[in-house]
Copies of this chain bind each other. A is one copy, B any other.
Amino acid sequence: MATRRFRADAPELDAFYERLAGADLQPLWLQENLMPLAPPRDAWLHRWPAAEYRELAARSGALVSVERGGDRRVLGLCNPGLGGLPYATPTLWAGVQFLNGGELAPAHRHSPNALRFVLEGRGTWTTVDADPVAMEPGDLVLTPSWAWHSHVNVADEPMLWFDGLDIPLALSLDAVFFEPGPDERPRPGEGRAPGELAFGTSPGLVPNRDRPAAPHSPLVRYPWEATDRALDALLAAEGGAGPADLRFVDPTTGRDVTPTMRCTMMRLVPGTALSHDRVPGSAVRVVFRGSGTVDLQGRREAYGPGDVIAIPSWSECRLEADERTDLFGLSDAPVFEALGFDRPPPAV
């Protein structure tokens, strides 16, 4: 197949362009969007209301078996500006996963990094490599690149959680590998997994040995109780007006929990606002608790618990909290920093 994306504008050029196409060449001077003055923001600044996806997720739980779902029953949040691609932003996949009581999402592993932020329910254990890890509302659970993972719901009630992955990034790099796992049903855990005990008990205390070679955090669960406490403490440390803004890090390095995604949790005090300034790089925010109003480039919308907002590169938005609001955040900032694309943007 030859490249044919352009049209000539003179007979002589017609013939020339035809020859170029035959040689798998394209004239740069006919490319219009190769070097925009700033990120084009095809992706929309967009909100998915929880009320809508929650009901549809429950419906999918009734209509579609997990097996049918390629091992996972997930609804992908599709940014309306991306031409039908199932991505929340050009680098980030976001979805909501629904697992009925008693169901199993069987083991597999993949090079994309994944993380789960629990929205509703309890009783599911995510087995990461060998260790079963509990999932409760507000918990962040990591299933890093190439770690085996499965989810088993041992409760009677369904569970719903937010999934964040770097699938669009990994796909654009041709970096995706996948391997299905064995069919065995993993056993649920009891209490905290070894990694939680060793790395997740007290701040600034880690096992006294050389750090593991893995590029991801040895801590795979950040329980809500600890996050909630840290939000309160940071608010107090900074005088109470907020917002308190925490970053989830690998306790052995202080680096982001995965090489591709930064995770944060922010607490807004009622009556205050959060301004997300224009930066290179995109983000997704999940309202864990609270309500207020979000300004999506002029459209003002009410937000409430569970709502998900996609913020494309070089976009601005603003949240005004009526109730105390806790926001889980996910962004591709580590990618921009590692590749040098994070520098203060020019005066565009």
**Contact indicator A205/B253 (Cβ below 8 Å):** no
**Contact indicator B252/A86 (Cβ below 8 Å):** no
If the complex has contacts A205-B227, A208-B246, are A172 and B169 also in contact, measured as CB distance less than 8 A? yes
Taking a contact as CB atoms closer than 8 A, the residue among B60, B85, B248 that contacts A16 in the complex is: B60
Query: What is the count of identical protomers in the complex?
Result: 4
A336 to B175, CA, bound (A): 8
Smallest CB separation, A40 vs chain B (Å):
7
Contacts of A229 in B (CB 8 A): 201-202
Contacts of A16 in B (CB 8 A): 56, 59-60, 63
Which of A20-28, A122-130, A151-159, A286-294 lies at the binding interface? A20-28
Taking a contact as CB atoms closer than 8 A, the residue among B59, B76, B111 that contacts A341 in the complex is: B111
Q: Is A74 an interface residue (CB 8 A)?
A: yes
**Contact indicator A90/B173 (Cβ below 8 Å):** yes
Contacts of A168 in B (CB 8 A): 172
If the complex has contacts A26-B86, A75-B26, A86-B31, are A203 and B174 also in contact, measured as CB distance less than 8 A? no
> Which of the listed residues A19, A39, A216 has the most CB atoms from chain B within 10 Å of its own CB?
A39
Contacts of A236 in B (CB 8 A): 197
**Contact indicator A245/B208 (Cβ below 8 Å):** yes
**Contact indicator A69/B175 (Cβ below 8 Å):** no
Contacts of A35 in B (CB 8 A): 70, 110, 112, 167, 176, 178
A126 to B173, CA, bound (A): 30
Q: Is A137 an interface residue (CB 8 A)?
A: no
Contacts of A298 in B (CB 8 A): none
Taking a contact as CB atoms closer than 8 A, the residue among B37, B72, B201, B238 that contacts A234 in the complex is: B201
> Which of the listed residues A174, A177, A202, A208 has the most CB atoms from chain B within 10 Å of its own CB?
A174
A237 to B206, CA, bound (A): 12
Residue on B with the closest CB to A204?
B251
Taking a contact as CB atoms closer than 8 A, the residue among B68, B81, B199 that contacts A203 in the complex is: B199
Contacts of A258 in B (CB 8 A): 340
Q: Is A318 an interface residue (CB 8 A)?
A: no
A111 to B37, CA, bound (A): 10
Taking a contact as CB atoms closer than 8 A, the residue among B2, B69, B201, B203 that contacts A28 in the complex is: B69
Which of A45-53, A181-189, A269-277 lies at the binding interface? A45-53
Taking a contact as CB atoms closer than 8 A, the residue among B1, B215, B254, B266 that contacts A251 in the complex is: B254
A113 to B53, CA, bound (A): 41
> Which of the listed residues A1, A208, A254 has the most CB atoms from chain B within 10 Å of its own CB?
A208
A211 to B239, CA, bound (A): 20
Contacts of A249 in B (CB 8 A): 204-206, 251-252
If the complex has contacts A254-B206, A264-B208, are A197 and B234 also in contact, measured as CB distance less than 8 A? yes
Can you identify 6 A-B contacts, CB atoms within 8 angstroms?
A16-B56, A27-B75, A31-B86, A173-B281, A204-B251, A208-B246
